[in-house]
Structure 1
Amino acid sequence: MEIVTLRKIKADEEKKHIGRKFIIEILGVSKKDHMDCIVMEYVANGSLYDYLGQKREQQQPLGNDQFFNWTQQGALAIQYLHELDIIHRDIKSPNFLITDKHNFKLCDFGISCISDKTVTTTYTGSLPWMAPESFEAFFKYDGSKIKVSKRSDIYSYSVVIWEMWTCQKPEFSVKVDGMSGKIFI
């Protein structure tokens, strides 16, 4: 699905939505031995996840200006995708890259999809960032479908915002009630 999503973004280049500049630039796509090879722009400063890890080690919070700039840039990137009816489905701090000018670039469209409504799927996202409506089906291990929508991306982004504000890693723990099979987070 990644190639379809990337083509839709590439086809929209002429439109000047401000959020477009916070999406990783796709330089080319080729196919070799039934595999898609995607060439993307080089982003010098790694991921937000790694950057926040360094801040944790140094016991330094993210500055307010940086926090507000990145929060806005990430929101604009997601707004841009949603206006194209693209659901990213894996919004998390490792998928925000930091440029040499300290701007955000959202990347990794590997499980993204195009839809203007709720999508039913068997897999989506990464657990610490996953929207609550996805948890139950994820843990049933019986092929249950997970429902995701643009709202799922927004929930996941709220976890990223929390990470930036606190400079903490999102933790994930689950307690399953053996009698009812309910999941407590």
Structure 2
Amino acid sequence: MAGQDTKWKKTVIGVCSGIGGVLLMGVASFIWFCLHKKKLARSYTPSSFLLRNNSSEPSTKELEKGENDMGLPLFSYEELEKATDRFNPAKELGDGGFGTVYYGKLSDGREVAVKRLFENNYRRVEHFMNEVEVLTRLRHPHLVTLYGCTSRICRELLLVYEFIPNGTVADHLHGNRAKPGELPWHTRLKIAIDTASALAFLHASETIHRDVKTTNILLDNNYNVKVADFGLSRLFPTQATHISTAPQGTPGYVDPEYHECYQLTNKSDVFSFGVVLVELISSKPAVDITRHRHEINLWTMAINKIRNDELHDFVDASLGFETDETVREMICAVAELAFRCLQSVKDTRPSMLEALEILKNIESRSSGKGKEEDRDISHEDDVLLKDGLVPESPDSVVVPWMSKSSTPNGSS
């Protein structure tokens, strides 16, 4: 009997030990899961992405220098809040797909533009990093200058740019600064050349802007161009033929081949630049839902007018197309270049460098400094381009894309 009791006790002890072990393992697993989840969540906060540093606090060296590890000056949230008068709506300069830009004045007297990224946009960290990486890596007279940003542990992601006082090209063509005759043809041609110069530089530096549009082309008081907004930019290695990615950009400017095939190339910027050219010629917005359904997108309207020899009906009447022979010749030459940039097949478009050279040649011919011969496209190219089928505007431009803002997509 005693032996049976001993055996029973051993059995009970064994069972209890087993249950206890299982419970202990369960508790340990639960604790490990909670800690791991917390650590994982921390690793994907903006703090870890912004400056590629695994530490959760800024280093003493960083605080002493007031710089991040890209050498970019850091600003405190409080400093920028004060500079913008607590982000006063009256100081708002504009907004886009990722944030709102405010006018500000720093304590040292510098005028700045402060971009405040939307908190509810899950891609704001990527946008922030794109801007920082492109503008700290590249310097060009026609790219906007980035003065600095907030720290990776700041309560908000803020970017600080030089303030460009004269608005955007869109403002002057068909926005709140548009006045007949205020933007003459020679100024518009200069804007086209400056923009082409900036884009050709980006492409030579293996970078695609991916959101070229007149609202991203800023003007100073002398109408010098500053290309801005690099939140959608992508690195494009010279040996690559394309990047497979879901289309992003702004309605009316998105390359139809990119939209259809999900293949991004530097020729996508060329297409968008073609839209900018026809805006400069016509003073019309890139998208206008009040136009005929086949002309909602300006680029389809432009191609139809050029093909039907109706350019005179398309050009802004204030430019002197009908009265000044030199202006008419230049506008026709730029329209021809725009026609090439807007081809639906990317391989028939010029490079940005070629577009820049053509524009400079047009400008120099008008001043009598260039060669006498025209740079017309060959007869074979003419037949190819004018016989090519131009696809209809994507329905997505008409229905869901009703704003001028860039459209962030779920894929980069």
Q: TM-score band, normalised by the shorter chain? A: 0.7 to 0.9
Distance in 2 (alpha carbons) for counterparts of 1:150 and 1:126: 16
> What does residue 141 of structure 1 align with?
none
Matches within 5 A, 1:7-46: 7-13=133-139, 20-30=140-150, 31-33=152-154, 36-46=157-167
Matches within 5 A, 1:1-185: 1-2=126-127, 3-4=129-130, 6-13=132-139, 20-30=140-150, 31-33=152-154, 36-54=157-175, 58-60=179-181, 62-116=183-237, 117=240, 118-136=242-260, 146-171=262-287, 184-185=392-393
Distance in 2 (alpha carbons) for counterparts of 1:33 and 1:58: 42
* Structure 1 residue matching 2:141: 3-state secondary structure: helix
**1:86-124 per-position Cα deviation (integer Å, ceiling 9, x unaligned):** 101000010001112211110001111111231121231
Q: CA RMSD in A?
A: 2.6
Distance in 2 (alpha carbons) for counterparts of 1:49 and 1:8: 24
Distance in 2 (alpha carbons) for counterparts of 1:6 and 1:107: 12
**TM-score in terms of structure 1 length:** 0.77
* Structure 1 residue matching 2:210: 3-state secondary structure: coil
Greater strand content = 1
**TM-score in terms of structure 2 length:** 0.37
Given that 1:62 and 1:167 are in contact with CA atoms closer than 8 Å, whether structure 2 keeps it comes out as no
Letter in 1 for 2:203: H
Given that 1:55 and 1:61 are in contact with CA atoms closer than 8 Å, whether structure 2 keeps it comes out as no
Q: Which runs of 5+ in 1 are unaligned?
A: 14-19, 138-145, 175-182
Greater helix content = 2
Structure 1 range deviating more: 113-122 or 28-37:
28-37
CA deviation after TM superposition for structure 1 residue 6, in Å: 3.7
**1:143-174 per-position Cα deviation (integer Å, ceiling 9, x unaligned):** xxx21111000110110011011111123657
Relative distance call for 1:57 and 1:105 in structure 2 (3 A) is closer
Distance in 1 (alpha carbons) for counterparts of 2:199 and 2:219: 16
Q: Which runs of 5+ in 2 are unaligned?
A: 1-125, 295-390, 394-412
Structure 1 range deviating more: 82-91 or 32-41:
32-41
**1:51-78 per-position Cα deviation (integer Å, ceiling 9, x unaligned):** 1115996444741210111111000000
* Structure 2 residue matching 1:127: 3-state secondary structure: coil
* Structure 1 residue matching 2:270: 3-state secondary structure: helix
Structure 1 range deviating more: 154-163 or 25-34:
25-34
Distance in 1 (alpha carbons) for counterparts of 2:130 and 2:137: 11
Aligned length: 164
Relative distance call for 1:29 and 1:54 in structure 2 (3 A) is closer
Relative distance call for 1:50 and 1:57 in structure 2 (3 A) is closer
CA deviation after TM superposition for structure 1 residue 125, in Å: 1.0
> What does residue 177 of structure 1 align with?
none
Percentage of matched positions with identical amino acids: 23
Distance in 2 (alpha carbons) for counterparts of 1:153 and 1:127: 14
Relative distance call for 1:97 and 1:33 in structure 2 (3 A) is same
Distance in 1 (alpha carbons) for counterparts of 2:281 and 2:392: 25
Given that 1:26 and 1:41 are in contact with CA atoms closer than 8 Å, whether structure 2 keeps it comes out as yes
* Structure 2 residue matching 1:40: 3-state secondary structure: strand
Given that 1:24 and 1:105 are in contact with CA atoms closer than 8 Å, whether structure 2 keeps it comes out as yes
Distance in 1 (alpha carbons) for counterparts of 2:277 and 2:136: 27
CA deviation after TM superposition for structure 1 residue 5, in Å: 5.5
Larger radius of gyration between Structure 1 and Structure 2: 2
Structure 1 range deviating more: 26-35 or 155-164:
26-35
Distance in 1 (alpha carbons) for counterparts of 2:221 and 2:189: 18
